[in-house]
Structure 1
Amino acid sequence: MIILKDILYRVSLNKVVGNTAVAIRDINFDSRKVGLDDVFVAINGVQSNGHDFIKMAVDKGAIAIICEKIPDITVNGIVYVEVADSKKALAIMASNFYNNPSKNLRLVGVTGTNGKTTISTLLYNLFTEAGYECGLLSTVKILVGKKKYKTSHTTPDSLTINKYLAEMLDAGVEFCFMEVSSHGIHQKRTEGLHFQGGIFTNLSHDHLDYHKDFKEYRDVKKAFFDQLPKQAFALVNTDDKNGNVMLQNTAAKKYTYALKSYADYQANILENQFSGLLLKINNNELWVKLIGNFNAYNVLAIYATADLLGLESLEILQLLSTLESVDGRFQYTISESKITAIVDYAHTPDALQNVLETINTIRTGNEELITVVGCGGDRDATKRPKMGGIAAQLSTKAIFTSDNPRTENPETIIEQIEAGVSPVDYKKTLSISDRKQAIKTACQMANEGDIILIAGKGHETYQEVNGERTDFDDYKIVNNLLMTLNK
């Protein structure tokens, strides 16, 4: 039996109406899911305010209401608890409800604009290969040991997080690696979790549709490190000027990694090819199957984290050399006619520039580099012209197309992308709103030795238009087209 009073432990309470010594069945923040004897947590969300649905929750059988303002009219027999922040209260209650599973796991959070999925996934792979039971909470999937679940958010809601952490604990998982998004931090989804470590990758233009400005975006990321306990480690990339900002107020043990500046963990790129990278990490040479400067940072962060978590250096190096790229992250295929197609999740200006610069560093210059790129609808529109300018400047041909237009007009999004193209690059661009047709056109334009980059959607296997999702997998589509068009 779970008692309301027990799951309110460590929640800051303003006012209580009723007796908190009641038994509860479940916690919900969606009034549609409330059942008999549930707790309903009224959250002021982005699209709706849970306080408007308190009566509905009570009518559906809720026995307790957690809210930021107790309604003027209350119902006898219902417990009302007023808190300063419902989101924070929900997260702490979720941890308590599931017996604080993160206390008994070695939980590591990865935050930053780019690299979160690669680092968290490859840490899961590396520690699994080292013989440990591991868990993963990422953009692409949730893994409890080898058991796989789909996910819809980079950082799930706090109830979902704790549910899976509890399942991991029951399954004997020791290490869990988790992507921590700015949305997740800002919406208090990670409150109440006990992290053993936090990793900062980098910070660039993204999510400014949600955050007021870049400073707020940065400070939200910093809040994650501010909350780390002194027993944890904070590992940051100091080649990014925001790395040291993350460390300013943290109580955690501070560690740094870098390619260009002095750091606790340093690496140099000795060779950079389509087949992989030759690196020197803390004076040890290492060949990895991952490609590009950005992946050199990812590999270094993984090495440093594994070291901080207690693995032996030689074992880490050996395991790193076996790792494969993550789905949709510089995932490439070479056709029979020697056309290279690369699919990458690059959906920010910085990520797109990193991928294109990597390709241009590796290629001889005799090949065409054809980039297919779009931008998501109902998201940060200010990055669209920047991405158009980067794609046109760093490619021999750029095809602008749809990503996930959602409720926006795809043509309008493409026009905003085109607005960032320099006049000298106009002739290098083409706009085709149908994404499959855009990829097909790129394949038709390519000749032996040429390179096609399809950016923006990466691992996603759907396209979202006007609220409807249809099957769409960039990697499968380009593979099929190259086989069909280049027999």
Structure 2
Amino acid sequence: MNSLIDILYKVTINTVVGSTNVFIRNIHFNSRSVAVNDLFVAIKGSVVNGHNYIESAIQQGAIAIVCEQLPKNLKEGISYIVVENSSSALAIMSSNYYGNPSSNLKLVGVTGTNGKTTIATLLFQLFKNAGYKVGLLSTVVIKVDNKDYKATHTTPDSLTINHYLKEMNNEGVEFCFMEVSSHGIHQKRTEGLEFAGGVFTNLTHDHLDYHDTFAEYRDVKKSFFDNLGKQAFALTNADDKNGAIMLQNTKAKQYKYGLKNYADYKAQILENSFSGMLLKVNESEVWTKLIGDFNASNVLAIYATAELLGLEKTEILRLISALESVSGRFQYMISEDKITAIVDYAHTPDALKNVLETINSIRTKNEELITVVGCGGDRDKTKRPRMGHIASALSTKAIFTSDNPRTEVPESIIEDIEKGVEPQNFKKTLSIVDRKQAIKTACQLANAGDIILIAGKGHETYQEINGVRTNFDDFKIVEELLKQLQK
């Protein structure tokens, strides 16, 4: 049990009705989870307004309410705390409730459109291989040293974050790497956390279904760096013009990494193949199993972060050469018929372009490059024609199909994608609504030496249609189909 006054430390409070000298069992922002002696935080969400459930929370036993507006009918014996922003208050209270666990380890946040999962996951892998106890908060999984937990959001809610950070404290974890999404920053989920550093990857066309403009999306990312402390480091990508913007108001120590532009950490690709790359990082050479310019940038960010966290340079290079690629990120197999199948999470125009350009830079041009791609439903529609344009222009054949249609009609999503195809590329495209059938068609069209790229879903093991999720794993499906269709 924690006292309410201690939980409220550093929260911006407008009004207090009732006593803060009460003890709280748990904090909840979902009224259905509330029990006796709990604190309920009423949050105004985009769909549900928690203020409508204050009465219900009290009936279930809540003794304290944190809200932005006082309810009309105040109940005797209930403490009401009116705050500026309930989401911000929840984040700070969550940290206080769990004993500010982020201050007991070195927490590094990775933000940007592409590369977050790869960088955070590979940093976890690298530090684990270096012999440290490590934590990971990612889109794919939450790891507390050797224990794995299922992840539900890129950036979990602040209670969940602090719960797992506390678990990490209990397990003696020294370093934690965390994906920080624009949604998470905007919804104040990372407030109250003490970061040892922040990494910026890049900023491209995405999430404009959530953020009204690109400028808003950029500024939300920037606010993460604005809030870093003086003891932290801010590491940004010099090859992205938005990298400099991230550093404008930060108090943290500033560093840059880049392949093309002046930076503290530089890399050059010396060799590139489907089995990996030879890189020159600053003045040293290192072999990595990762592939492509975008991964050279990711490896450089990993190298820089590891050095800024105190690892020795030659040790970092040795550890980088042992890193394994992340599930669903340029994950590939070669069939008995010598057909290469690549599964990648590329679901933005920039990510798709990067992957296709990487494949084209490695292949000899005597083989076909068949791309299977779709776009998610109920998400940013403006990127769909761009995805169609890129897939058809950079592939020898492009098959447009379903991704996760969600509540949209799959055919209408595909029509949006088709709008981006230029006339000279019409003959190179096919549209097949059923994703498994689209992958099967790609396998049937491919011959020895050809390359199939299945883009958009990557590590996801489901497909969501009209609110129903069914098992769907791109990598397993293409693997099975290529075995069945051996020529």
Q: Under TM normalisation by the shorter chain, which class is it?
A: over 0.9
Residue aligning to 1:287: 287
Q: What's the CA shift string for 1:241-265, capped at 9, x where partnerless?
A: 0000000000000000000011100
Corresponding position of 2:305: 305
Range moving further from structure 2, 49-58 or 236-245: 49-58
- State the secondary structure of the residue aligned to 2:279: strand
Q: What amino acid sits opposite 1:383 in the alignment?
A: K
Equivalent residue, structure 1, for 2:64: 64
Q: What amino acid sits opposite 1:151 in the alignment?
A: A
| CA positional deviation for 1:61 | 1.1
Name the structure 2 match of 1:454: 454
The letter of the residue matching 2:176 is C
Q: Distance in 2 between matches of 1:417 and 1:334?
A: 29
Corresponding residue for residue 91 of structure 1 = 91
What amino acid is aligned across from residue 264 of structure 2 in structure 1?
Answer: D
Task: Find the counterpart in structure 1 of residue 273 from structure 2.
Answer: 273
Q: Report the counterpart of residue 136 of structure 1 in structure 2.
A: 136
Amino acid at match of 1:8: L
Counterparts of 1:21 and 1:272 in 2: how far apart (Å)?
A: 64
How much does 1:60 deviate? 1.2
CA distance in 2, matches of 1:425, 1:3: 66
Query: Is structure 2 residue 234 aligned with structure 1 residue 234?
Result: yes
**Matched residues in 1 for 2:70 and 2:424: separation?**
61
> How far does the alpha carbon of each residue in 1:300-338 deviate from its partner, in whole angstroms, 9 at most, with x for none?
000000000000000000000010100000000000000
**Bigger shift: residues 178-187 or 35-44:** 35-44
> Whole-Å Cα distance in 2 between the matches of residues 435 and 161 of structure 1?
34
In 2: Cα distance, 1:68 partner to 1:155 partner:
24
Aligned partner letter, 1:236: T
Distance 1:36 1:448 in 2: 66
Question: Scaled by the length of structure 2, what TM-score is found?
Answer: 0.99
1:383 — aligned with what? Answer: 383
Residue segments in structure 2 that go unaligned for 5+ positions in a row: none
> Taking every aligned residue pair, what percent have the same amino acid on both sides?
72
Q: Tell me the equivalent position of 1:145.
A: 145
Structure 2 CA distance, aligned partners of 1:197 and 1:410? 41
1:203-352 equivalent positions in 2, closer than 5 A: 203-352=203-352
2:303 partner SS: helix
Deviations 1:183-222 (A, max 9, x none): 0000000000000000000000000000010000000000
- 2-side partners of 1:396 and 1:349: how far apart? 18
Distance 1:409 1:149 in 2: 33
Distance 1:257 1:25 in 2: 46
| Map of 1:104 onto structure 2 | 104
Q: Summarize deviations over 1:449-486 as a string: whole Å, max 9, x none.
A: 00000000000001111111111000000000001101
Describe how 1:421-440 pairs up with structure 2 within 5 A.
421-440=421-440
* Deviation of the 1:424 alpha carbon: 1.1
CA distance in 1, matches of 2:383, 2:57: 40
CA shift for structure 1 position 32: 1.2
Whether 2:120 is the aligned partner of 1:120: answer: yes
Distance 2:27 2:403 in 1: 36
Quote the residue 1:415 is aligned against. 415
CA-CA distance at 1:85 after TM superposition: 0.3
Structure 1: runs of 5 or more not aligned: none
Deviations 1:93-136 (A, max 9, x none): 00000000000010000000000000000000000000000000
TM-aligned CA deviation for residue 339 of structure 1: 0.2
Q: Distance in 1 between matches of 2:297 and 2:58?
A: 51
**Pair 1:160-2:172 in alignment:** no
Q: C-alpha separation between the residues in 2 aligned to 1:73 and 1:410? A: 47
Residue 400 of structure 1 aligns with which residue? 400
Is residue 40 of structure 2 the alignment partner of residue 40 of structure 1?
yes
Separation in structure 1 between the aligned mates of residue 232 and residue 450 of structure 2, nearest angstrom: 47
In 2, distance between residues paired with 1:160 and 1:419? 41
Helix, strand or coil at the partner of 2:398: strand
State how far apart, in whole Å, the 1-side matches of 2:482 and 2:364 are: 22
Question: Using the alignment, how far apart are the partners of 1:62 and 1:416 within structure 2?
Answer: 48
Return the offset for 1:34: 1.0
Q: Who is 1:172 aligned against?
A: 172
Q: Deviations over 1:75-106 (max 9, x none)?
A: 11111110000000000000000000000010
Measure the CA separation in 2 of the matches of 1:419 and 1:4: 56
RMSD of equivalent CA atoms: 0.6
Cα separation, 1, equivalents of 2:366 and 2:317:
35
Shift of 1:25: 0.8
User: Quick one: distance in 1 between partners of 2:179 and 2:356?
Assistant: 25
- SS in structure 2 opposite 1:210? coil
Specify the SS of the correspondent of 2:377: coil
| AA matched with 1:427 | K
Q: Which amino acid aligns with 1:372?
A: V
Shift, 1:152, TM fit: 1.0
TM-score (normalizing by structure 1): 0.99
Task: Deviation per CA, 1:356-406: give whole Å up to 9, x if none.
Answer: 000000000010000000111111111111101100110010001111111
Structure 1: distance between partners of 2:30 and 2:434: 36
Q: Which residue of 1 aligns with 2:484?
A: 484
Q: Aligned to 1:336, what secondary structure does the other structure show? A: coil
**2:315 & 2:415 partners in 1: Cα distance?**
51
- In structure 1, the residue matched to 2:472 is 472
**One-letter amino acid of the counterpart of residue 87, structure 2:** K
What does residue range 69-80 of structure 1 map to in structure 2 within 5 Å? 69-80=69-80
State the alpha-carbon separation in 2 of the partners of residues 386 and 261 from structure 1. 27
How big is each residue's C-alpha offset from its partner over 1:417-441, in whole Å with a ceiling of 9 and x where there is no partner?
1111111111111111110010001
Aligned residue type for 2:449: G
Shift of 1:52: 1.1
Helix, strand or coil at the partner of 1:420? coil
Q: SS state of the match for residue 196, structure 2?
A: strand
The match for 1:14 is 14
SS at 1:103's partner residue? helix
How many residues are aligned here?
A: 487
In 2, distance between residues paired with 1:58 and 1:380?
Answer: 39
Q: Secondary structure at the match of 1:203?
A: coil
Distance in 1 (alpha carbons) for counterparts of 2:118 and 2:314: 22
